[in-house]
Amino acid sequence: MANQMVRTLISKITESQHFSIICDEVTDVSSLHHLGMSFRWVDEAFEIHEDFIGLHEMSNGSAQAVTELIKDILCRCGMNIKGCRGQCYDGASVMAGVISGVSQRLLAEEPRAVFVHCLAHSLNLAVQDSARAIPIFRDMFDNLRELITFMKQSPKRLQEFSCVQQAAIGKAR
């Protein structure tokens, strides 16, 4: 059923001829890297659509690997990079690097695929900068980061935390 939904979406996107790519790298609970990919497109009634296509496992997070994965996804969807008119990623150098980031690599293949920094990520960065200007928030976030690092450094602590987390979820129900 999911594959049929994706095929239907891809058919509609292909009919519109032009689309934008929205991608973000995510890490799941087992520390595997994935690329979340969405298409933004406009239908014949000039309605804007933004459709999530899927999470695709990445072998590594290099700009070359991400670019190849995006091109592979486009190929599997039967879409041509020549229809791409926009790219939207976070500001990480792998994605937005002006020399050899994903945006530049795709721009070399399709000059009309303009890169736009993701506004959600821009808002997140602005909130982070604002919060870091307030000492109590800065200290809280630093302590939280250290706690997370401490937990992740030991499989035993991580397992114990998972057990406590599951117990808390069970009580909440």
Strand 48-57 vs strand 84-89: parallel, antiparallel, or unpaired?
A: unpaired
CATH number of 2-123: 3.30.420
For the chain, give every domain's residue range. 2-123, 134-172
- Per residue in 3-34, pLDDT tens? 888 888 888 998 888 999 999 888 877 778 89
Residue 91 has a pLDDT of 78
Residue 82 has a pLDDT of 93
* H-state helical runs in 1-113: 2-16, 63-76, 93-96, 102-109
- Per residue in 30-52, pLDDT tens? 778 899 999 999 998 899 999 99
State the pTM of this model: 0.69
